[in-house]
Amino acid sequence: MEEIKTILIGSVESSRIVLEEMVRHDYPPEMVFGLDEKYSENVSGYVNLSVLAEQNDIPSMTFKNINDASVVEQIRAIAPDYIFVVGISQLIREDIIGAAGKGVIGYHPTALPKYRGRAALPWLVLLGEQESKASLFFIDEGMDSGDIVDQETYMIGELDYAADVYHASNEALGQMLGRVLEKVRTDSVEARRQDHSRATYLLKRTPEDGRIEWVDSAEGIHRLIRATSRPYPGAFSFYKEHKVIIWQASVQPNTQYIGIPGQIIRSDSESIDVLCTDGILRIEDYETDEDVQFIDGNKFK
């Protein structure tokens, strides 16, 4: 059988996992295309794939826009059978889809057709989901709408942070890849059509959506903190003129304090207790633009 050629396009941790699994299964891609580090400022969890590619003697090329003519020309010159596109936010256009002899395989960390779209992992936490699936599917011109190649279930804990869900979904991706790579290698990939009538869509989130509204419930604020914590930009509030990014917190009962939501009950070097409408939010890990002295009784905006 003629060897089935693949390439990999990516920019984050899930992209690295795919490349590592390809190497581990002795089935490296013909070339790796990674987002240039110069353009990674707004990419959560960025990974420079060219470093790992070089360590394994795999040719690599960096890009700013994956659909640039120079990139498409290089992909066409390789004439891959399959293109793996994992971990980039840029839409893949027809020029690249058409360059793959057998198809372009993408990755999405939800149980497609449920939750197609953007910012999937933060949304899963915000929505209180306890179970999801990592999905590999054929990319078409729609949004995460192509035929499903394989799926692997993973669990989400009640108090998981974004990083926990990120890790769980990536573990599921790694487990699934062994099966998929063997099918690719033997040219035996099969896929099933999504039930489009069951599709739901996640809309775009921006860093500004992490702003805390202290009139929300303590549980709701805690969920926002968990959903937007590292590797994402973080939930935030303002104390006087200082932006405070909150990375970790817990909810505590309130049986003693009466005040205004957002008001500081007490603070020390370890934590800050903030009054909420139905409890106390204990801030346990945060960062500010400079040293700030929090004063009991003062308020977050």
Q: Residue 1 has what pLDDT? A: 60
Banded pLDDT at 289 (limits 50, 70, 90): confident
Rounded to 10 degrees, what is the CA torsion of 86, 19, 7, 117? 0
Cβ-contact 111, 129 below 8 angstroms = no
Give me the chain's average pLDDT, please. Answer: 96
Q: Residue 260 has what pLDDT? A: 97
Q: What share of the chain is helix, strand, coil (3-state, %, to 5)?
A: 30, 30, 45
The model's pLDDT over 75-94, given as tens digits with 9 standing for 90+, comes to 999 999 999 999 998 889 99
- Taking the domain 209-288, which CATH number applies? 3.10.25.10
Q: Which CATH architecture has domain 6-202?
A: 3-Layer(aba) Sandwich (3.40)
> Can you tell me the mean pLDDT for 246-271?
96
Per-residue pLDDT for 42 more than 90? no
> Can you tell me the mean pLDDT for 248-267?
97
The model's pLDDT over 175-225, given as tens digits with 9 standing for 90+, comes to 999 999 999 999 999 999 999 999 999 999 999 999 999 999 999 999 999
Cβ-contact 10, 18 below 8 angstroms = yes
CA distance 243 to 101: 50
> Can you tell me the mean pLDDT for 52-57?
96
Please, where in the chain does CATH 3.10.25.10 lie? 209-288
Per-residue pLDDT for 2 more than 80? no
